[in-house]
Amino acid sequence: MIGDVLTLFKTLFDIVRLQKGPEAIPHSPVLFVLMVAAWMAVGAVVTAMIGELNQSDFAISMLLGVIALVIYAAAIVFSQKSTRVLQSLTAILGCGVLLECLFVTGYLSLSPILGKDIAGLASYLILLWSVPVEGHIIARAIDRHWYVGFLIAIAVFLIQIQVSTSLGPTDLATP
């Protein structure tokens, strides 16, 4: 079992490095639910870690993530690849969890050295990497060139920003 978890983390890390796609993730509803739980838990940790954020920020952050997942699922279904939705969303969530863990690690390790503001900025660059990662996942899921997935991911990111600004300030640290 521990070997399976390590294999999953290695696969997610390979996806984050754009070396594998969502097809490398098992097609498992249970794994999807576990990734949703992990995504929510890490989101709660990030919200608690950043003192300016509160529960409403956490709720908005989760909403932004759900909006992204719905748009990505729609893009995959629209491309007539609906059998790939579960694996793709699981990969997006899993990579989001991995990137948020790297964010937390970077923030905690850099804060004492650089101060919270610069550490936060440097750590947010890690989260910004989620846009090309999600684009890569979507491109592989819909069998299109990487830039098609990247454009979809940018569109989703811009929609998230628009929704976020209409609802109020929040942490955009979601997939």
Q: What confidence tens digit (pLDDT) does each residue in 15-44 have?
A: 999 999 999 999 999 999 999 999 999 999
Q: What pTM was computed for the model?
A: 0.89
Predicted pLDDT at 29? 97
Burial label, 57 (beta-carbon count in 10 A; 0-12, 13-18, 19+): buried
Q: What confidence tens digit (pLDDT) does each residue in 118-170 have?
A: 887 887 888 899 999 999 999 999 999 999 999 999 999 999 999 988 886 54
The one-letter amino acid at 59: A
Ramachandran assignment for 116, one of left (phi > 0), alpha (psi -120 to 50 degrees), beta (any other): alpha
Question: Whose structure tokens read 């948020």?
Answer: 100
> In sequence order, what are the residues at sequence separation of 6 or more whose Cβ sits closer than 8 angstroms to the Cβ of residue 60?
164, 167, 168, 170
- Pick the closest to residue 72 from 138, 159, 164, 162 (CA basis): 138
Q: Which residue has the higher pLDDT, 135 or 171?
A: 135
Predicted pLDDT at 105? 86
Question: Whose structure tokens read 């900025």?
Answer: 121
Q: What angle, rounded to 10 degrees, do the helices at 130-141 and 116-128 form?
A: 10
CA 28 to chain centre: 18
Mean pLDDT computed over every residue of the chain: 90
